[in-house]
Amino acid sequence: MSTQTTMQAATSGRWAVAGIFLANGFLTGSWAPQIPVFLTRLDITRFTLGLLILLFGVGAVIAMTWCGHLISRHGSRTVTRWFGVCGSFGLLIVALAPNVPLAAIAMLIFGGSIGGMDVAMNSNAVVVERRLSRAIMSSSHGFWSLGGFAGGALGGYSIQNYGYLPHALVATVIAFAVIAFAIRYLIAEDRPQAVEHQKFTLPRHTTVYLVGLMALLTMISEGAVLDWAALFLHQELGADLAVAGLAYAAFSGVMALMRFLGDGVRNRFGAVSTLRGSALVAAAGMLVAGLSPSPYLAIAAFALCGFGIANMVPIIFSAGGNQEGMSSGTSMSVVTTMGYSGILVAPSAIGFVAEHSSFGPIFVALSGLLVIVLLMAGLAYRAEFAPEPAPAE
């Protein structure tokens, strides 16, 4: 294959993986405004809702843990295709669940498909980066945030005016159409990453777990905004559903804008300095949100938090995917599993606390976790881009 043909395929693959990120973010963002309705239509407490969100996280973590092994055997393109198609139906399955037991099963399936899709698409983005010899991770996550913005912004309005089930159906059709088109153009690794008989094992390198810890602390805050910001605005600050849905929409919208600019910022200031500055801004935004007396100030504060978190996750993931002595699929599986435990599992613990408290102090406490990431930022030095050698013609 000629170099020109290879680059054309890589360029198509770059936009294909962007489409997968977009669809994943859209499904995740569409779930956020469904949560207040989910709580009332099943007639459950915050504690039970926290348990259901925990099951979503359990399904995701199980899929993520095994995804590195699957990628080693079958490649990131194939695994992205599998989880992408399955994931597009997850939100609809949850919306159709008529009672708590079936909702629990639906949340496991939804979480597993979204979680596996996350690891696979991030691993495929690393493949594209190496093939193109330039960074695309921040902008790829920008498409995820753009999808989250669209899902959150349209979701609250759609649910309030047309109902939760029509909203879930339309969101599913849109996500499936994007994924079905995009998976045709995904690129594959040049060589298999593992032999046929390789067993599932965890890496022994300590650094990859420390990078995963940074991802965890960062994404706890992101998960808190995703799962609880709308309820915070609706129940504690008196906002209606349409306004409450804007909390995550503002967070994701600003995050998307900054992620599209993030590769340039990172190239100018370096990964470590960018991560430090971003963590400081994110911590300030989360602090103001927790102390806010009005829904609109809280929305603005969540937007500021999104401004900071925007490039933290891509930098941390790039650092994870470029760990020395292990394949990108294996290291990415560890970092994404630990990181997405924050966005998927930790919010259930927040629900348990919120059952006996309020969300304001919780958001204030979360700002402290972002300060810890600031102090650990030096571990992100491996995020500096290292291209893949060009294939022989």
Rounded-to-integer distance, Cα 113 and Cα 40, Å: 25
Q: Report pLDDT for 191.
A: 57
Q: Rounded to an integer, what distance in angstroms lies between the CA atom of residue 215 and that of residue 289?
A: 21
The pLDDT assigned to 329 comes to 64
Report residue 391's pLDDT band, with 50, 70 and 90 as the boundaries.
very low
Work out the pLDDT band at 3, boundaries 50, 70, 90.
Answer: low
pLDDT at position 360 over 60: yes
Q: Of 334, 51, 381, 351, which is closest to residue 216 (Cα–Cα)?
A: 334
Confidence band for 196, pLDDT divided at 50, 70 and 90: very low
Neighbouring residues of 339: CB distance < 8 A, sequence distance ≥ 6: 212, 215, 216, 218, 219, 313, 316, 317
Q: Which of 60, 66, 61 has the alpha carbon at shortest distance from 111?
A: 60
Hey, is 342 helix, strand or coil?
Answer: helix
Q: Is the pLDDT of residue 198 over 90?
A: no
Instruction: Look at residue 123 and tell me whether its pLDDT is greater than 80.
Output: yes
Three-class secondary structure assignment of 25-73: HHHHHHHCCHHHHHHHHCCCCHHHHHHHHHHHHHHHHHHHHHHHHHHHH
Cα–Cα distance between 129 and 136 in angstroms, integer? 6
Mean pLDDT computed over 128-138: 79
* % of the chain exceeding 70 in pLDDT: 88
Q: What is the pLDDT of residues 328-337, one digit of tens each?
A: 667 777 887 8
pTM of the predicted model as reported, rounded to 2 decimal places: 0.73
285: confidence class by pLDDT, cuts 50, 70, 90: very high
pLDDT band at 390 (very low <50, low <70, confident <90, very high): very low
